[in-house]
Amino acid sequence: MRAALAEAEAALATGDVPVGAVVTDDAGTIVARGRNRREAAGDPTAHAEIEAIRAAAAAIGGWRLDGLTLVVTLEPCTMCAGAITTARLDRLVYGAQDPRAGAVGSLWDVVRDQRLTPVPEVLGGILADDCLAVIRRFFSGRR
């Protein structure tokens, strides 16, 4: 999660909401990184999770990300939850909950919906206070 937090901090340089993500293998080695780049790229789909998933697919040479874990600082939205399932990631680890748009338990639970397979293992609340602090700092500077 600390590596994902570093990616979130890096998103601040482009004015993007500070959300960061990494994809790791079973040994914990980082395979790919991503951060929010919607402002920087002018792309509404450039969420940290999508960026990390795309980078992981490029790194391993295929779209099936079996055996890999996505670690992200904020609970994924519906788009990202769908991508996690579609990419066949084995695990999702996230930091802070997102009561406004979270799709891994807060508003919806897309990732654990048994109608969508495979269903990844989910661990939430990891370093949640640290993850939330970065986002709060960002928005407090904007209000």
The annotated binding site for Zn(2+) is made up of 47, 77, 80
Other CB atoms closer than 10 Å to residue 121's CB: what's the count?
Answer: 12
| Vertex 62 angle, CA 59 and 67, to 5° | 80
Residue 39 annotated among the catalytic residues of the structure? no
Positions at the binding site:
47, 77, 80
And the tokens for 31? Answer: 């395979």
Of 7, 49, 51, 75, the active-site residue reads: 49
Task: Identify whether the C-beta of residue 43 lies closer than 8 Å to the C-beta of residue 96.
Answer: no
Task: Write the DSSP string, 26-42.
Answer: TT--EEEEEE--HHHHT
Query: At residue 120, what is the residue type?
Result: P
The Cα–Cα gap between 141 and 41 comes to 22
β partners of residue 59: none
Q: Catalogue the active-site residues.
A: 49
